């Protein structure tokens, strides 16, 4: 039993940070009433967290490779706990947004290191089981966040969606301190400060531009400026990495078809599977007048399917080709998004069930494979960089998906409150169709990249541990 304590510590931290991506969704009306928040403030309560995650994951992953994954993970847990306390005590929207950004910083440190810690702790079949369990947790967390947010908001207060992190963080810190072995450090070169700075600016600019464009339109001046700054910073990042003796992110990795296919699969997964969740929550609460608790429970089948499928298939990852697990998993997600178009004007919440279950099954196949393939495609000492890159792709895919599907929805359904039910249903169907196309298309592209990859992925059971 002691053998699995590190896995439990890693999964507990991952569950906590990923739940906080979506846990606020169903609590936003209560937050708005309590803090007198406007629409823009509510948007940033959600997006401030995602922005910090997307901008810092790769940076923190690189630092973890140099400083050691364990101390970075523990630091992230402490920052996450402190910021959760500030969130729960916030007396105005500005403080809450600030604390959410701080949460994202702590979450980035945790998210970028859990895979390296598991990779270092387990070998052989145990590593496959560990990655499968981690994938099950990460795949189910987004949907579980909506459920937990509804329960806590209805039964206690919106503040408890943050206070609940405190005992969980305390247990995770205590377990992690004793369960994980000391991490190796690769500090032979100085930190790539130009690469870290330019990537942070690039990721922040692009993500902010996506969020702003989805909210205010793609011709909005602030959105355009942010995207331009992000593009320039991305070019400078490429130059800095080419010139660096010890780059934060070695650009030749992108020439590896396996690694490139993994990044494509990660971004496509969150776009197709999770970007429509805010729209679904909106339909259930505003059109069908369901409570936050009932809304969360209605979305539970996706989490259950993801957890069960990932747990059942994770142990077989070392024998599976990523062309099928990642590529075919994305196609399954796309098909599930297509099934969501069964929603029409007279539908009840049960119309969502076929699509949510199929999406969850696709995530359960896809998520563990993303983890194992990314870790196998790079040398062991670049595990933190690989984890940061994959999880950055996930967060950027989610931010882009939320912005695009929100724009598509408004373009079809129109503006105003309340929307006519027919317009609401039409907007949902259009958004679900786009998610379907993205899932299937990204699945086909990923399949082609993996199928044509020259270098074979090293089996999980053959990979060495990062530490003795």
Contact call for residues 327 and 408 (beta carbons, < 8 A): no
Q: What digits encode the pLDDT tens for the residues 107-141?
A: 888 887 887 788 778 777 777 778 777 777 776 67
Q: What digits encode the pLDDT tens for the residues 401-447?
A: 877 787 788 777 665 555 555 568 778 888 999 999 999 999 888 88
Q: Which two three-digit tokens encode residue 391?
A: 């999880």
DSSP 252: G
pLDDT at residue number 108:
87
Let me know if 125 is exposed, middle or buried by CB neighbors in 10 A (0-12, 13-18, 19+). middle
Residue 8 CA to residue 141 CA, distance in Å, equals: 15
Residue at 427 is within a domain: yes
Residue at 188 is within a domain: no
Report how many domains make up the chain. 1
- Is the bond into 26 cis (omega within 30 degrees of 0)? no
pLDDT at residue number 142:
66
Residues of the chain with pLDDT > 70, as a percent, come to: 85
Residue at 197 is within a domain: no
Residue at 419 is within a domain: yes
* Other Cβ atoms within 10 Å of 455 Cβ, number: 10
CATH number for position 137: 1.20.1250.20
Residue 382 CA to residue 394 CA, distance in Å, equals: 19
CA pseudo-torsion sign 117, 98, 273, 150: positive
Contact call for residues 32 and 159 (beta carbons, < 8 A): no
List the one residue out of 456, 233, 269, 242 whose CA is nearest residue 370. Answer: 269
Contact call for residues 58 and 251 (beta carbons, < 8 A): no
Residue 468 CA to residue 458 CA, distance in Å, equals: 20
DSSP 453: -
Residue at 223 is within a domain: no
Within 112-192, residue ranges assigned H as helices are 114-121, 124-155, 160-163, 165-179
323 pLDDT above the threshold of 80: no
Domain containing 404: what range? 2-180+250-458
Q: What digits encode the pLDDT tens for the residues 326-381?
A: 888 899 999 999 999 888 877 788 888 999 999 988 888 887 777 667 777 767 66
- What SS3 class is residue 378? coil
Residue at 100 is within a domain: yes
Residue at 133 is within a domain: yes
pLDDT at residue number 454:
46
Residue at 194 is within a domain: no
State the pTM of this model. 0.78
Q: Please, what's the b/e burial string for 21-54 (b: 16 or more CB within 10 A of its CB; e: otherwise)?
A: bbbbbbbbebbbeebebeeebbbbbbbbbbbbbb
Q: Which tops the pLDDT comparison, 179 or 41?
A: 179
Contact call for residues 368 and 131 (beta carbons, < 8 A): yes
Residue 443 CA to residue 299 CA, distance in Å, equals: 24
């Amino acid at each position: 039993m002691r053998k699995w304590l590190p896995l439990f510590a890693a999964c507990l931290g991952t569950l906590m940070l990923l739940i906080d991506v979506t846990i606020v969704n169903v609590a936003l009306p209560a937050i708005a009433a309590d803090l007198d928040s406007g629409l823009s403030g509510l948007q940033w309560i959600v997006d401030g967290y995602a922005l910090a995650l997307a901008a810092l994951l790769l940076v923190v992953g690189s630092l973890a490779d140099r400083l050691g994954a364990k101390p970075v993970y523990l630091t992230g847990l402490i920052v996450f706990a402190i910021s959760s306390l500030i969130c729960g005590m916030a007396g105005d929207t500005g403080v809450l947004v600030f604390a959410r950004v701080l949460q994202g910083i702590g979450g980035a440190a945790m998210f970028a290191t859990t895979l390296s810690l598991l990779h270092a702790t387990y070998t052989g079949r145990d590593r496959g089981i560990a990655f499968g369990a981690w994938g099950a947790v990460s795949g189910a967390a987004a949907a579980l966040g909506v459920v937990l947010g509804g329960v806590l908001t209805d039964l206690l207060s919106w503040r408890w969606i943050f206070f609940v992190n405190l005992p969980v963080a305390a247990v995770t810190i205590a377990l992690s301190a004793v369960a994980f072995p000391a991490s190796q450090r690769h500090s032979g070169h100085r930190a790539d400060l130009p690469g870290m700075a330019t990537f942070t600016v690039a990721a922040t600019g692009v993500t902010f531009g996506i969020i702003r464009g989805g909210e205010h339109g793609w011709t909005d001046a602030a959105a355009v400026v942010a995207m331009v700054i992000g593009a320039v910073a991305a070019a400078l990042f490429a130059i800095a990495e080419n010139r660096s003796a010890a780059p934060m992110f070695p650009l030749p990795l992108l020439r590896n078809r396996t690694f490139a296919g993994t990044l494509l699969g990660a971004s496509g997964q969150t776009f197709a599977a999770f970007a429509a969740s805010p729209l679904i929550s909106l339909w259930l609460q505003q059109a069908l007048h369901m409570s936050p608790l009932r809304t969360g429970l209605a979305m539970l089948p996706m989490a259950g399917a993801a957890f069960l499928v990932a747990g059942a298939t994770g142990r077989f990852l070392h024998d599976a080709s990523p062309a099928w697990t990642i590529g075919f998993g994305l196609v399954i997600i796309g098909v599930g998004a297509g099934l969501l178009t069964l929603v029409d004007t007279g539908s009840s919440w049960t119309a969502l069930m076929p699509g949510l279950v199929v999406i969850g099954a696709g995530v359960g196949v896809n998520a563990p494979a993303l983890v194992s393939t990314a870790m196998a495609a790079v040398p062991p000492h670049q595990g933190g960089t690989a984890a940061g890159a994959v999880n950055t792709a996930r967060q950027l895919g989610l931010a882009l998906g939320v912005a695009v599907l929100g724009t598509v929805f408004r373009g079809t359904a129109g503006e105003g409150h309340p929307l006519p039910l027919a317009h609401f249903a039409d907007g949902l169907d259009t958004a679900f169709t786009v998610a379907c196309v993205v899932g299937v298309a990204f699945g086909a592209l990923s399949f082609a990249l993996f199928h044509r990859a020259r270098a074979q992925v090293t089996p999980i059971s053959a990979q060495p541990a990062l530490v003795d």
